[in-house]
Structure 1
Amino acid sequence: MGVEIRVEGLRKSFGRQVIWEDVSLTIPAGEISALLGPSGTGKSVFLKNLVGLLRPDRGHIYVGGGDVPRLRESDLYALRRQFGVLFQDGALFGSMNLYDNIAFPLREHTKKGEAEIRRIVLEKMEMVGLSGSERKLPGEISGGMKKRAGLARALVLDPEIILADEPDSGLDPVRTAYLNQLFVDLNTRLGATFLIVTHDIGTARVLPDNLGLLFRRGLVMFGPREMVLSSTHPAVNQFFNARRQGPIGMAEEKDLAEVAAESAPQSMPAPIPPQLMPSDGGLRPAMRRPGEWLREHRVTPPPGSFIDDEGRNWLTDWDALAAQRQRR
């Protein structure tokens, strides 16, 4: 099963440039979480702090009982074995074929024999839909295949936490949809904790269990998907509904008078779509009943929420839909 990540009072700066002042959140074990924000708000920097590649100015990052910024190098090395990282461009070695790229962590960090390595590599390649592509070079495959090869490599050490830095970058909407479905299926199969950094609003609205928004040197909000997508907070409402009106401008900083004028809640959030389901017809353990968070907190969903492409209402028809999936 996945591991919980608890972040408390994190501050990071580079010289005089403050990235964020005080970030605190808990990423639940075994769930899919997504972190978004305008460019330059430190999303990738946040991932690097989680694995100890960068150290914060202050604060704590608790992973499996250890506080990452305070671990000795030897302990940090051991803790990183719990992480699998999918880099933005796949970060494949251009001179190695896909098989050797994916086998690389096993050869570097374990004493497994080649027969065992082959079994593991082929298993992970099958998981991400790359069976039969072992001998291809990175230069011979598409961007989507490179992402999946990078994901297979992130999985070979059986990590409990999987970090993905803008996995949809450079992909068309169809390949992005396939990749999102792959994340859902892998989370169902492996039970690992997923944290995905993305700019893609479509991904953020249907994929994760939890959503977070970084903006203006801080974490504006982090919590269950339904909480964030129903929020009328000006920055959250603007960003997740891709609206021009709001505190997020073309530049990172806006005039204070302009910010004050836009601080009032904006228009109604867009309808909340149904969440992606596993492709095998089952249900993910981390999934909550549609609308459950809204009911618990007496929040009325935006009109048109939870209606899928076939016109089914997941709020009223969920029991029948869930039973139908489980019979497949």
Structure 2
Amino acid sequence: MGVEIRVEGLRKSFGRQVIWEDVSFTVPAGQISALLGPSGTGKSVFLKNLIGLLRPDRGHVWVDGQDVPELRERRLYEMRRRFGVLFQDGALFGSMSVFDNVAFPLREHTRLSESKVRAKTLEKMEMVGLSGAEDKFPGEISGGMRKRAGLARALVLDPEIILADEPDSGLDPVRTSYLSQLFVDINHETGATILIVTHDIGTARVLPDNMGLLFRRGLVAFGPREMILTSRDPAVNQFFNARREGPIGMAEEKDLADQSLETYHDPAPAPIPPQIMPSDGRPRRNQTPPGTWLRAHGLQPPPGSFIDAEGRNWQQDWPRLTA
């Protein structure tokens, strides 16, 4: 089962450049969350602060009662065993085979016999669809396969928390879809807490239970998917509708003079798509039925919400479709 991550008042800068400040939110245990934002907003830096690769200027990252920035090296080393991290480019060792890359954390952090290392490594490789690629080297496989190898390595210690940095970058839409399905199935099978950093709107609209937006050196919003996708906040609205009008510009923030020349429209939110379901069709243990957050707040979903390409209405027919 996954564990909760609670971030309080986090601030990070490099010299005079403030990356973000006073970031506070909670990543719910056992759910899939996504953190988005324009390029240059410090999303990858944020993940590195969560696992202690970077230390914030101030603030706290609470994981099961322990404050990560305050941990000494030995305790931090132990804490990191609870995390599995998929880096943006896979971060595979080019001189090692795919098998040895995936097996590396087991050999580094455990005293398992080589036979058990092999069995566990092959299990995770099969989980991500890499059976038969054991003897290949990173330079001999595709970018999508390198991503999956990195994910297998992140899973090999059975972590309670999985962090993924831009897992869909550089992938075509088909591979991105397969990878999104893989995250859903992993959460369904293991119950791990998953936090994905991305700027891909398509992924964010259908994959996570919760999502947040980093912008202007802070966190604009974080909450259930339905809350974010119906938000009227100008930055959230602009980002998730991929519009030019709004506070986000080519250099992250628009000059106030440029904003004043815009005629800003407040379009109705787009229909909310159905969430990706596990491959076996059964809901994940922490997955809520479509429309749950909206009903709790007395709101109606945008017209056309929760209807898939086959015309099935997942809000109306949830019990039947998940039986």
Task: Please classify the TM superposition score into its range, dividing by the shorter chain length.
Answer: over 0.9
> Which letter does structure 2 place at the counterpart of 1:256?
L
**d(CA) in 1 for partners of 2:219, 2:176:** 26
Higher mean Cα deviation, 168-177 or 91-100?
Answer: 91-100
RMSD: 1.3
Contact 1:233 1:265 survives alignment (8 Å): no
The residue aligned with 1:306 is 306
Contact 2:247 2:253 survives alignment (8 Å): no
The residue aligned with 1:83 is 83
**d(CA) in 1 for partners of 2:299, 2:263:** 21
**CA distances 1:37-78 after superposition (whole Å, capped 9, x unpaired):** 001100000000000011111111001110011111111111
| Equivalences for residues 163-312 of structure 1 within 5 A | 163-259=163-259, 266-312=266-312
Contact 2:273 2:305 survives alignment (8 Å): yes
Contact 1:247 1:263 survives alignment (8 Å): no
Runs of 5+ unmatched residues, structure 2: none
Q: Structure 1 residue 107 and structure 2 residue 107: aligned?
A: yes
Higher mean Cα deviation, 241-250 or 79-88?
Answer: 241-250
Aligned length: 323
Alpha-carbon distance change, 25 to 6 in structure 1, aligned in 2, over 3 angstroms = same
> Which letter does structure 2 place at the counterpart of 1:90?
G
Contact 1:234 1:262 survives alignment (8 Å): no
Residue 140 of structure 1, CA deviation: 1.2
Contact 2:128 2:151 survives alignment (8 Å): yes
Higher mean Cα deviation, 233-242 or 247-256?
Answer: 247-256
Residue 257 of structure 1, CA deviation: 3.9
**CA distances 1:165-204 after superposition (whole Å, capped 9, x unpaired):** 0000100000000000000000000110000001111000
Q: What SS does structure 2 have at the residue aligned with 1:35? A: strand
**d(CA) in 2 for partners of 1:197, 1:263:** 31
Higher mean Cα deviation, 283-292 or 255-264?
Answer: 255-264
> Which letter does structure 2 place at the counterpart of 1:279?
S
Runs of 5+ unmatched residues, structure 1: 324-328
Q: TM-score, normalised by structure 2?
A: 0.97
Q: What SS does structure 2 have at the residue aligned with 1:59? A: strand
The residue aligned with 1:120 is 120
Residue 264 of structure 1, CA deviation: 6.8
Q: Structure 1 residue 6 and structure 2 residue 6: aligned?
A: yes
**CA distances 1:140-167 after superposition (whole Å, capped 9, x unpaired):** 1111111000000011111100000000
Percent identity, aligned pairs only?
77
**CA distances 1:191-233 after superposition (whole Å, capped 9, x unpaired):** 1000000111100000000000000000000000000001111
Q: TM-score, normalised by structure 1?
A: 0.96
